[in-house]
Amino acid sequence: MEYILIAYDSNTISFLFFFQYPLMYGLILVICWCSLVCFSRIYMGMHSILDVIAGFLYAILILVVFHPAVDLIDNFNLTYKYAPLIIISLHLALGVFSFTLDTWSTSRGDTAQILGCGAGVACGSHFNYMLGLMQDPSPDTLPLIPPSITVTLFGKAILRLLIGVVLLLLTRIVMKKITIPLACKMFSIPCGDIRQARQRMEVELPYRYITYGMVGFSLMFLVPCLFLFIGLS
């Protein structure tokens, strides 16, 4: 039976699993997950069927082009001294470009949110690697044997989940309170009507990018550091 090695990293819970399972199970999981995402976008009226088909084909194109260079890009993000500056600048430039394509829409905000979160996650991974906080296990120790599920382990997992979710929500709330008024003040935009102000690129882009960039950074770096500090790692 053919097997593949999968690494799953969820920093809200901060578990790291390296395990093997049949390739067919992985394919079924991927197909089901992608189908749920696509159908949900159509059901919510956010995208048409043609949008989904185009996105699927575009994803395949990206995979074909970038898959051979994944290890090289990952090594650059983790080890290059100035990688965070390049990551932030590149993602921000893509966000600005997306906002200039047409008038304001929710999809533009979603794009900035995704780019900001991606930049935060990449920067968090960089700092984790440089500080030696989250090292991958050596290949000769894989696959790891899953620990026995005990009451203590289950309680610890629930506690980590609750703490992680609360911290991420607090990060989002605090950054939203800071970024929107600050952007309005910097660009002389009235902030009495927040909804109206957020339809301006000068407000929505910094809000989405900075707020969710900090959420991504907290997810990958700050929350795991807290778990390490309080003995929940």
Per the omega criterion (within 30 degrees of 0), is the bond before 143 cis?
A: yes
Average pLDDT of the chain is 81
- Please compute the mean of the pLDDT values over residues 120-138 and round it to a whole number: 85
Looking at residue 45, the DSSP 8-state letter turns out to be T
Asked if 191 and 99 count as a contact pair (C-beta separation under 8 A), the reply is: no
Asked if 219 and 175 count as a contact pair (C-beta separation under 8 A), the reply is: no
**pLDDT for position 19:** 54
Q: Is pLDDT at 57 greater than 60 in this prediction?
A: yes
Span 166-218, pLDDT tens digits: 999 999 999 999 999 999 999 888 888 888 888 788 888 889 999 999 999 99
Q: Is pLDDT at 141 greater than 80 in this prediction?
A: no
Q: Is pLDDT at 9 greater than 90 in this prediction?
A: no
**pLDDT for position 7:** 36
Highest mean pLDDT out of 29-43, 73-87, 105-119: 73-87
**pLDDT for position 99:** 64
**pLDDT for position 21:** 66
Interior CA angle at 176 toward 196 and 223, to 5°? 155
Looking at residue 222, the DSSP 8-state letter turns out to be I
Q: How confident is the model at residue 100 (pLDDT cuts 50, 70, 90)?
A: low
Number of C-beta neighbours around residue 16 at 10 A:
16
**pLDDT for position 2:** 36
Q: Is pLDDT at 221 greater than 90 in this prediction?
A: yes
Number of C-beta neighbours around residue 135 at 10 A:
9
List the domain boundaries for the chain. 69-230
Q: Is pLDDT at 148 greater than 60 in this prediction?
A: yes
Residue 188's region, left for phi above 0, alpha for psi from -120 to 50, else beta, is left
The distance of Cα 222 from the centroid of its chain, to the nearest Å, equals 14
Cα separation of 50 and 54, whole Å? 6
* Span of 33-47, 76-90, 116-130 with lowest mean pLDDT: 33-47
